[in-house]
């Protein structure tokens, strides 16, 4: 089910009537290379490719992300940011995300219960389970105590993540 090397990708593609291309291999390699816990959106992936001197168009980036997500190679993550994030889908290492809505840092965590709950639920509704994601929307305690969501200063920097605010309508 999970495909992590070029040969297996090629086989999977061919089986479905698709073809192996340099671009697809390159994009797969990027995901294999980034550190565990890191997920990319289309723009970030495109920038990495540019940096590496690869000339792959934005369209191809999007098309490849969609294809690989549909094939089950990538996991499509939604963090309510207005764009999707992707990471390698490794069912054996299923994990979930806690995300700070203020500074956008994410924390990965595991829980064996989630997969069990998900499997049961899908089964009892007669669905095939493809992926399950428990997403926690949180704020750092530090920001919360500082008056989040409305009284946090514009130039707030999260002491936990060192990141500044992602968005805020002035009060």
Q: What are phi and psi of 162, to 5 degrees?
A: 70, 10
Among 17, 35, 155, 162, binds DNA (CB under 7 A): 17
104 binds DNA (CB under 7 A): no
Give me 75's structure tokens: 């996991």
117 binds a copy of itself (CB under 8 A): yes
Crossing angle for the helix pair 42-51 and 22-33, nearest 10 degrees?
100
Compare residues 83 and 110 and give the one whose CB is closer to DNA: 83
According to the annotation, is 138 in a ligand binding site? no
- Using CA atoms, how far residue 7 sits from 4, 76, 77, 161, in Å, is 9, 23, 26, 39
Among 135, 146, 163, 165, binds a copy of itself (CB under 8 A): 135
82 binds DNA (CB under 7 A): yes
| Alpha-carbon span 12 to 48, nearest angstrom | 25
According to the annotation, is 151 in a ligand binding site? no
| Alpha-carbon span 26 to 124, nearest angstrom | 40
Q: C-beta of 111: minimal distance to DNA in Å?
A: 27
**What is the binding site for a copy of itself (CB under 8 A)?**
16-17, 66-67, 70-71, 76, 78-80, 82, 84, 98, 100-101, 107, 109, 111, 113-114, 117-118, 121-122, 125-141, 144, 149-150, 160, 169, 171
């Amino acid at each position: 089910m999970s495909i992590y090397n070029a040969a297996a990708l090629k086989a999977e593609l061919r089986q479905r009537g698709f073809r192996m291309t340099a671009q697809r291999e390159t994009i797969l390699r990027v995901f294999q290379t980034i550190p565990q816990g890191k997920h990319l959106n289309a723009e970030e992936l495109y920038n990495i490719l540019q940096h590496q001197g690869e000339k792959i168009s934005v369209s191809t980036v999007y098309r490849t992300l969609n294809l690989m997500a549909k094939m089950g190679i990538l996991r499509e993550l939604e963090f309510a940011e207005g764009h999707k994030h992707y990471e390698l889908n490794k069912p054996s290492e299923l994990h979930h995300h806690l995300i700070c809505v203020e500074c956008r840092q994410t924390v990965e965590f595991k829980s064996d219960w989630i997969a069990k709950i998900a499997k049961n639920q899908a089964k009892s509704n007669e669905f095939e389970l493809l992926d399950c994601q428990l997403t926690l929307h949180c704020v750092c305690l530090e920001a919360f105590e500082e008056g989040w969501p409305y009284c946090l200063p514009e130039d707030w920097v999260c002491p936990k993540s060192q990141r500044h605010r992602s968005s805020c309508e002035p009060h």
